[in-house]
């Protein structure tokens, strides 16, 4: 049996009781923290809390050669991930591979940043459109390349009056900040020859689920210089705000009062 266990948003205590029992009863425990990470809990802290050895998997172990799945044929294997397991298509692929191998698989859900964003900001969850990830720039042929995809997704969602959730890249121990994400979005717009985003309200959320979470709403250029503190960060570019959403952003995220006059 393979059991996907969601660990929640921030630290070892975010796991559900059902998830905790699954880990404690497992014969083997594996985890990956490259799709998401629990910034409030180290590998050692998790092992102490669960009283279990936790074997860390790389991207290659999960996506390319998950040979460890064979263990789940005759043992109870728990696979730990940050947030909710099935939010990531990587984990869905792994689940389907297990089923094709004749291995039973179940999912123990947990809190996810996808739903936490609505609670942290007051933005209505049914008004979110397609999401995107802002990747770190890379260099090709001596030229710095900034992905235009996140900007395109924001524009597409704006056309149909939907909010855009923007995940921020993680590379090994490097976590993109809201500041970097906002700057890259503005750079992508400049590449496309646009200029509408400079006056758009955006929202940055840092360390959701922790006692010192930060939520700030302002125009994109202002977010570039705001101190959000440590990771993990995520960003939202809202569409036209409902008056209740505008009220919530002012109360919960310090948004400028002018948004109340622009709301529906």
Question: pLDDT class for 29, splitting at 50, 70, 90?
Answer: very high
Q: Which residue has the higher pLDDT, 172 or 51?
A: 51
* pLDDT for 194: 75
Half-sphere exposure of 193 (CA within 13 A, CB side): 0
Q: Please say whether the structural domain 2-111 has been given the CATH code 1.10.150.170.
A: no
Antiparallel, parallel or unpaired: β 214-219 and 201-206: antiparallel
| Residue 135 pLDDT > 80 | yes
pTM attached to this predicted model: 0.90
Delimit the domains of the chain by residue range: 2-111, 114-262
pLDDT digits (tens, 9 = 90+) for 182-232: 999 999 999 888 778 899 999 999 999 999 999 999 999 999 999 999 999
* pLDDT for 240: 95
Cβ neighbours of residue 258 closer than 8 Å, sequence gap 6 or more: none
| Residue 264 pLDDT > 90 | no
Give percent of the chain above pLDDT 90.
88
**What stretches of the chain adopt beta strand conformation (E)?**
2-6, 28-31, 55-56, 77-81, 105-108, 132-134, 138-140, 143-145, 164-168, 170-171, 174-175, 201-206, 214-219, 233-237
Encoding tokens for residue 60?
Answer: 């290659």
Which CATH superfamily does the domain covering 114-262 fall into?
Tetrapyrrole methylase, C-terminal domain (3.30.950.10)
């Amino acid at each position: 049996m393979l059991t996907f266990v969601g660990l929640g948003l921030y630290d070892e205590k975010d796991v559900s009781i059902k998830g905790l029992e699954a880990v404690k009863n497992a014969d083997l425990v594996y985890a990956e923290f490259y799709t998401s990470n629990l910034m409030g809990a180290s590998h050692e802290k998790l092992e102490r809390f669960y009283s279990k050895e936790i074997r860390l998997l790389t991207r290659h172990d999960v996506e390319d050669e998950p040979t460890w799945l064979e263990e789940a044929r005759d043992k109870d294997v728990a696979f730990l991930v940050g947030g909710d397991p099935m939010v990531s298509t990587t984990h869905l692929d792994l689940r389907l591979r297990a089923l094709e191998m004749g291995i039973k698989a179940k999912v123990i859900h947990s809190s996810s940043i996808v739903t936490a964003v609505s609670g942290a900001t007051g933005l209505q969850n049914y008004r979110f459109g397609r999401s995107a990830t802002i990747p770190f720039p890379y260099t090709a042929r001596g030229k710095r390349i900034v992905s235009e995809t996140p900007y395109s997704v924001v524009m597409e969602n704006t056309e149909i009056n939907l909010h855009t959730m923007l995940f921020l890249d993680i590379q090994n121990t490097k976590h993109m900040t809201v500041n970097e994400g906002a700057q890259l979005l503005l750079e992508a717009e400049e590449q496309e020859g646009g200029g509408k985003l400079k006056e758009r309200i955006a929202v940055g959320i840092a360390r959701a689920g922790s006692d010192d979470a930060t939520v700030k709403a302002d125009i994109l250029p202002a977010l570039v210089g705001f101190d959000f503190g440590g990771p993990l960060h995520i960003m939202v570019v809202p569409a036209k705000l409902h008056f209740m959403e505008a009220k919530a952003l002012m109360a919960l995220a310090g948004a400028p009062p002018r948004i109340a006059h622009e709301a529906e």
